[in-house]
């Protein structure tokens, strides 16, 4: 390009403003949503008038929907359909915009529009006679929207008293069409623009986007996204310092907001990052648009015309240091072609034959992957071209297929490609590991992987059914959005209600401080349930009471496993054996299970094995700390001992907060029955106190700890002393409470005997070194650690190879809905941390 053409003529008045400071030239481009109607035109004009640049080159698109309407008109006319009705509607839309925009004197603009639409009608009539839309006619028609739009905006700004000129790009822009797209004849275009500026030295120039002429002087267009490309072209021709592309979003987002509502605007991108994101369909400028900018180091700013105060995203030669991953994109409607065979190994030219066959079949390759063994080559292609590609490869390798040197050409449909993009990925260890781990945690299988030597892009081919979930999981893994968990709670009784209240109190804080989004999407009681997409804990109790759905755990589970949410957690706060039967299936499906319900941990050993196997196979977490000791770290402590190589010798402890409270308080001065009634009134016991007094609950906890230590103990093998006399075991709950006095004589005698020996009564569970398990009332010396507990304290002593002379003791409150719920909540946060949430 000649230097004279590149300099261009500036308005003399503006040049006189400063003899030394360089004039600031800024190019703008407004999309169809930004000029959708008269109100938007006024907004754009106001925005432009307030900007300080000395020279302003503004490219405009057609009004929203107009280009598609014009294309439909051309095809409709050629197909013999009624084109006059939609033509009149389109004309009226523009006339109404002119009347609204130029209320004081719209006649001139309307007359111009009438003339333009009459010419369009003549062309459409000709197409209806010909019966086919020629390329030249189609390009002439579909580019008219920009012509109309530029005229409306320039007339409005002229009416405002602005120094403005309208440039029809067809007067200056010359392009040619080739295999790589549209190429600009820069020298000719710049020379024509320089001459045009000599005749039109206005400070503000409104330019038609999308349209141009070819070397034969025929009207043509720049193709889809052509208006953006026009913006970059005229930014270069005007020698602008910046190009502002105005759209309806706050810049380039870290992911598609339709799939990831938490997607965030990116402050800055490099040209390379923007190209990578754009290739896989992100709402970024088209790579072709960036070509003139890259060669001239011209910054591109993606701005929101609806929120001009937002700085948007700056795209330049260097981005910023945020990252390593800037954004993620998802490209759907793809397929996987896989060619494999032992005869390919070490044979030169195989890949060349694959790609040549696809090229000759006009099949575009989106992604390529090949292992170092050379046993297979796989290509991701567009779904619409997949069968053509398969046949092309079968023809190209027909001889090898017949000789079994190549085993088959496999075609896998319904594939999507997820791409993680960022300049900061280069040289940063662990980026791929984090991406793959996030997909594994979300139960997403990867079919193929590709990463270039630049390390700027990692692409993975996955099943389209998993695509939304995969995108959200990866997005949160790189802390571009909150780590989101689809949460369901079963059993809103005392513990469940306390948990839901704790969730409600912590939900906003966790999202703000730790980027963890706990979405309560379902609650089920014994008889009913509510399902919700909002994920809020607000008024959960009222919503459950008003719920009209019967409890259905299949529907409950299906609702929680939303495709757009990467992780699902079910918390079972019931005491139901029927619910525990579901654990293995949930875990096998990748659903994390958290529970204080002891039925699974102490139930049938076959079910317990199935639960552990399902968790191990799927990687889903099974957390049950609150099954023993409520909120105390009993199971976790034992797990830590064993994981660090210690050996369990024996366990002894008081595992019931209810029984601990009763025998801590029982000193013979108050009847035992009175203490039971008091504990019942305080909520320390189960609704039927026999569930505590029978010792079965304590026995279950002992079984859970034994199994945690690798001992396959069953509940029936535990020697359990029940504190409920045989005469009261089959009585109705109300009758039992009325006959509680029948317990007093027995316990008074036990207490007196212990006191005479200088001892106290405690209900203790024990597992000895030989595997014998017993639960019952024992007499302990007053110096024993178990003799000095407070209120509902639980205490556990672990005797291990390391802690042999002085057992490891865990002690603290072991009863009450609040502390049990806190233990469940802590398990939920541990699962969230394992899934990548920034907790702790």
Segment 419-459, tens digit of pLDDT: 998 888 877 888 888 899 889 888 899 999 988 766 788 99
What stretches of 481-552 adopt beta strand conformation (E)?
A: 483-490, 516-524, 528-531, 549-550
Residue 128 within a domain: no
Q: Across 452-554, where does the E strand assignment appear?
A: 457-463, 483-490, 516-524, 528-531, 549-550
Residue 81, helix vs strand vs coil:
coil
Residue finishing a domain among 248, 272, 297: 248
Examine residue 299 and state whether it is found in any structural domain, yes or no.
no
Residue 120 has pLDDT above 60, yes or no: yes
User: Which among 479, 500, 516 is the end of a domain?
Assistant: 479
Tell me the Cα Rg of the chain: 37
Shared domain for 783 and 735, answered yes or no, is yes
Picking from 230, 248, 266, the residue at the C-terminal end of a domain is: 248
Q: Confidence class of residue 61 from pLDDT cuts 50, 70 and 90?
A: very high
344-375 pLDDT, tens digit per residue, is: 777 777 888 899 999 999 999 989 988 766 67
Q: Is the same domain home to 167 and 217?
A: yes
Tell which residue, 395, 411, 415, has the closest CA to residue 339.
411
Residue 736, H or E segment: helix 733-738
Residue 410 lies in a domain: yes
Same domain, 338 and 470: yes
The pLDDT assigned to 479 comes to 65
pLDDT at 374: 64
Tell me: do 586 and 657 sit in the same domain: no
Annotation says 511 is catalytic: no
* Domain-located, residue 216: yes
Length of the chain: 840
**Domain assignment present for 347:** yes
Distance CA 581, CA 591 (A): 14
Percent of all residues in the chain with a pLDDT value above 70, rounded to a whole number: 95
When divided into structural domains, the chain yields a total of 4
**Contact status, residue 330 vs residue 366, Cβ threshold 8 Å:** no
Backbone angles phi, psi at 535, to 5 degrees: 80, 20
Do 411 and 426 lie in one domain? The reply is yes
Same domain, 378 and 456: yes
Task: Give me the catalytic one of 29, 494, 701, 759.
Answer: 701
Q: Answer yes or no: do 335 and 210 share one domain.
A: no
- How do beta strands 204-208 and 164-167 pair? parallel
pLDDT in tens, 717-755: 999 999 999 999 999 999 999 999 999 999 999 999 999
Strands 376-382, 242-247: pairing kind: unpaired
Taking 90 as the threshold, does the pLDDT of residue 821 lie above it? yes
| pLDDT at 454 (0 to 100) | 66
Cα 87 to Cα 510: distance, rounded to the nearest angstrom: 56
CA distances for 604 relative to 115, 499, 583, 704, 721, angstroms: 86, 28, 13, 12, 21
Q: Is 747 found in the same domain as 643?
A: yes
pLDDT (0 to 100) of residue 253: 86
Mean pLDDT taken over the chain: 89
Sequence-ordered strand ranges (E) for 305-375: 313-316, 327-340, 365-370
In a domain, 493, yes or no: yes
Question: Residue 23: what pLDDT?
Answer: 55
Q: What H or E segment, with its residue span, contains residue 375?
A: none
Can you tell me the distance from the alpha carbon of 287 to that of 808, in angstroms, rounded to the nearest whole number? 64
Range 20-52 burial, b when 16+ CB lie within 10 A, else e: eeeeebbbbbbbbbbbbebebbebbbebbeeee
Kindly state whether residues 388 and 489 are assigned to the same domain.
Answer: no
Sequence-distant contacts of 733-739: CB under 8 A, at least 24 apart:
733/687, 733/688, 733/690, 736/688, 736/689, 736/690, 737/677, 737/680, 737/689
Same domain? For 586 and 663 the reply is no
The yes-or-no verdict on residue 2 having pLDDT over 50 is no
Residues 157 and 226 in one domain: yes
766 and 829 inside one domain: no
0.85 surpassed by pTM = no
Q: At 227, phi and psi to the nearest 5?
A: -70, -40
Asked whether residue 771 is domain-assigned, the answer is yes
Report if residue 12 sits inside a domain: no
Domain hosting 520: range is 483-629+825-835
**pLDDT mean over 625-650:** 93
Strand 719-720 versus strand 773-781 pairing type: parallel
């Amino acid at each position: 390009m000649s230097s004279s053409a590149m300099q261009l003529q500036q308005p003399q008045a503006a040049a006189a403003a400063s003899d030394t400071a360089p004039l600031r030239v800024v190019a703008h481009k407004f999309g169809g949503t930004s000029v959708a109607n008269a109100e938007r035109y006024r907004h754009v004009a106001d925005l432009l008038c307030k900007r300080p640049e000395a020279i302003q080159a503004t490219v405009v698109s057609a009004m929203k929907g107009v280009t598609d309407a014009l294309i439909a008109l051309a095809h409709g006319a050629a197909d013999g359909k009624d084109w006059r009705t939609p033509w009149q509607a389109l004309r009226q839309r523009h006339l109404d915009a002119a009347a609204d925009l130029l209320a004081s004197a719209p006649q001139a603009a309307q007359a111009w529009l009438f003339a333009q639409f009459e010419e369009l009608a003549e062309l459409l009539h000709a197409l209806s006679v010909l019966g086919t839309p020629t390329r030249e006619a189609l390009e002439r028609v579909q580019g008219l929207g920009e012509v109309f739009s530029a005229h409306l905006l320039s007339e409005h700004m002229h009416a405002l008293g602005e120094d403005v000129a309208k440039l029809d790009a067809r007067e200056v822009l010359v392009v040619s069409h080739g295999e790589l797209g549209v190429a600009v004849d820069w020298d000719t275009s710049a020379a024509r623009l320089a001459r045009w500026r000599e005749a039109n030295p206005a400070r503000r120039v409104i330019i038609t986007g999308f349209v141009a002429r070819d070397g034969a002087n025929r009207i043509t267009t720049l193709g889809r996204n052509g208006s953006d490309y026009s913006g970059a072209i005229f930014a270069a021709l005007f020698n602008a310092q910046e190009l502002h592309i105005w759209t309806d979003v706050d810049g380039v987002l870290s992911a598609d907001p339709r799939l990831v509502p938490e997607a965030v605007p990116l402050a800055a991108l490099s040209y390379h990052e923007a190209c990578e994101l754009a290739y896989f369909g992100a709402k970024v400028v088209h790579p072709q648009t960036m070509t003139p900018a890259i060669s001239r180091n011209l910054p591109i700013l993606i701005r929101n015309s609806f929120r001009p105060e937002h700085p948007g995203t700056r795209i330049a030669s260097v981005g910023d240091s945020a990252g390593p991953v800037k954004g993620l994109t998802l490209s759907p409607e793809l397929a996987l072609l896989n060619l494999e065979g032992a005869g390919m190994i070490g044979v030169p030219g195989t890949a060349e034959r694959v790609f040549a066959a696809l090229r000759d079949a006009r099949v575009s390759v989106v992604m390529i992957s090949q292992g170092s063994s050379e046993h297979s080559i796989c290509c991701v292609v567009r779904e619409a071209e997949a069968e053509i590609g398969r046949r092309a490869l079968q023809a190209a390798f027909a001889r090898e297929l017949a000789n079994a040197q190549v085993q088959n050409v496999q075609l896998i449909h319904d594939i999507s490609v997820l791409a993680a993009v960022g300049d900061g990925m280069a040289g940063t260890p662990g980026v791929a590991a984090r991406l793959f781990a996030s997909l594994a945690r979300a139960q997403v299988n990867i079919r193929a992987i590709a990463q270039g030597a630049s390390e700027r892009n990692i692409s993975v081919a996955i099943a389209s059914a998993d695509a939304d979930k995969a995108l959200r999981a990866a997005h949160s893994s790189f802390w571009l959005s909150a780590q989101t968990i689809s949460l369901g709670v079963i059993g809103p009784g005392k513990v469940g209600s306390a948990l839901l209240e704790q969730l409600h109190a912590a939900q906003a804080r966790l999202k703000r401080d730790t980027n963890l989004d706990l979405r309560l999407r379902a609650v089920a009681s014994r008889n009913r349930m509510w399902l919700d997409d909002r994920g809020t804990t607000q008024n959960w109790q009222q919503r459950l009471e008003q719920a009209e759905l019967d409890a259905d755990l299949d529907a409950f589970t299906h609702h929680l496993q939303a495709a757009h949410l990467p992780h699902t957690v079910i918390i079972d706060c019931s005491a139901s054996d029927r619910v525990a039967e579901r654990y293995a299936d949930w875990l096998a499906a990748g659903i994390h299970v958290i529970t204080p319900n002891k039925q699974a941990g102490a139930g049938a050993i076959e079910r317990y094995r199935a639960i552990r196997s399902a968790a191990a196979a799927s990687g889903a977490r099974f957390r049950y700390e609150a099954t023993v000791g409520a909120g105390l770290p009993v199971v976790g402590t034992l797990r830590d001992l064993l994981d660090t190589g210690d050996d369990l010798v024996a366990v002894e402890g008081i595992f019931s907060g209810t029984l601990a409270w009763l025998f801590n308080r029982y000193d013979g001065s108050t009847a035992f029955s009175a203490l039971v009634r008091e504990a019942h009134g305080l909520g320390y016991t189960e609704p039927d106190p026999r569930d505590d007094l029978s010792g079965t609950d304590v026995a279950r906890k002992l079984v859970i700890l034994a199994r945690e230590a690798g001992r396959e103990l069953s509940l029936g093998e535990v020697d359990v002393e029940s504190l409920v006399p045989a005469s009261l075991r089959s009585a109705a709950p109300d009758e039992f409470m009325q006959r509680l006095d029948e317990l007093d004589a027995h316990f008074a005698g036990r207490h007196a005997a212990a006191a005479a020996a200088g001892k106290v009564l405690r209900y203790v569970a024990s597992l000895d070194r030989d595997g014998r398990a017993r639960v019952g009332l024992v007499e302990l010396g007053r110096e024993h650690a178990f003799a000095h507990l407070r209120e509902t304290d639980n205490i556990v002593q672990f005797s291990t190879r390391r802690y042999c002379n002085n057992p490891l003791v865990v002690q603290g409150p072991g009863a009450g809905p609040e502390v049990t719920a806190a233990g469940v909540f802590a398990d939920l946060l541990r699962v969230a941390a394992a899934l990548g949430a920034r907790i702790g």
